Chain A
Amino acid sequence: MLAALLALVGLLIATYLTLFKIGVIGQLVCAVGSCETVQTSKWATFIGLPVAAWGIGYYVAVLAVAVGLTTERWEQARGLQLAFLVLTAWGALFSLWLTYLELFVIHAICQWCVVSAILAVALFVVAVMDRKAISHEASVMTSEA
């Protein structure tokens, strides 16, 4: 449940940044750092698309899986649990790479990107904890049987 909430917040941030990147929003609200510098750098585009647009795709996928895992039908689906873990691991690694670029290559920080990176790492932590909880439940059930 927490994962779905985190993914939804991430999706809203990615949508906001994408709308800025394609010119729908004129100016970013940026209390800390230099959002403009980061968003107009060459690193803000990845394989021909704005990084923020990839973020939309990523958070939609995570949200769909996270919501799926809250339903009775899918909550025990091992494939879906594994997909959630792999997806969030990839998201966390990619976000850490982007944060590295901000700090050491672009030399500017975008507050929205940092929040997104924190969300991505938090999602991975939630996925790992869920995985542990499920493994623990399975081992308890096996020993009870």
Chain B
Amino acid sequence: MSQQRKSKGAFWALLGAVAVLGLIAIAYVAAKPKTRGITEVDLKADPTQARGYLLGDSTAPVQVIEFADFECPACMQFATLTEPDVRKLVEQGKISYRYFDFPLEMHRNTWEASNTAACADEQGKFWPMHDALFAAQDQWNGEATRNPKPVLKGLAQQIGLDVAKWESCYDEQRYRSRIAANRAEGERRHIQSTPTFIIGNKIIPGALDSDKFMSYVAEAAAAAGPRPATPAMGPASGLPGAKKDTSGARK
């Protein structure tokens, strides 16, 4: 009987220890700040090139910025589920929308995708390529292939680009510095994960559903009042209408 009690005592002690250790581990992970204290910036990136890709009128009452990675599944989720509603707001002139590349090291083919989109922008077709890249993400991402170019070339053909021009741009990585600058702009703003949105004066990480997105836009519009909202870009953005900041300090 006492042997049984001892073994039950040991069992409860083990159960308690596992519970406590597990909870400490979870609390540690949850308490870790999502933004690092020190952010490394690519010094070679020319900040004046960080202009993103604009959709809509840059003087719209609310300006929305997205930092995204073409290979990130959450960005794809946002692009396919929420973005159709976002486009309606752009068409109605309520917001302007600006996409910034934020290619993450963990995604093998994301640079190639950003390169593809930048070269499509050269022919005025960034947004059709943006949509095509997200729609076909599972065909060119790092899990699908080590050589994404044939799939990306197929997308260039699919959206009606001059494929020869696109290919020469792609091969020489003509807009590499622009992509690097877009990413550096995200680092300057302490962007930690993708997608991250800047709506009005709020930085919001994570894929938003339509309802949440609309509520942030409404909030920003209300805060802006009758005057157009100040673009959420800093001094180094190179954006038209960006707020002048003579301090030059990194925020």
Contact = CB atoms under 8 A, between A and B. Distances in A.
Same assembly: yes
Nearest to B137: A37
B206 interface: yes
Q: Interface residues of B: mostly helix, strand, loop or mixed?
A: helix
Interface residues on B, range: 20 to 34
Contact of A25 (B18, B29, B143): B29
A83 interface: no
B38 interface: no
A93 interface: no
A136 interface: no
Given A5-B14, A8-B15, A37 B73 contact: yes
Given A8-B22, A36-B74, A40-B207, A25 B138 contact: no
A48 to B, nearest CB: 13
Contacts of A15: 26
A142 interface: no
Contacts of B148: none
Contact of A24 (B18, B30, B74): B30
B15 A34 contact: no
A8 B19 contact: yes
Nearest first, the 10 closest Cβ-Cβ pairs linking A and B are A12-B22, A26-B34, A37-B73, A40-B74, A40-B73, A1-B11, A24-B30, A40-B77, A25-B30, A36-B73
Given A15-B26, A16-B26, A23-B206, 8 more contacts: A5-B18, A9-B18, A12-B23, A19-B29, A34-B143, A36-B74, A40-B74, A70-B11
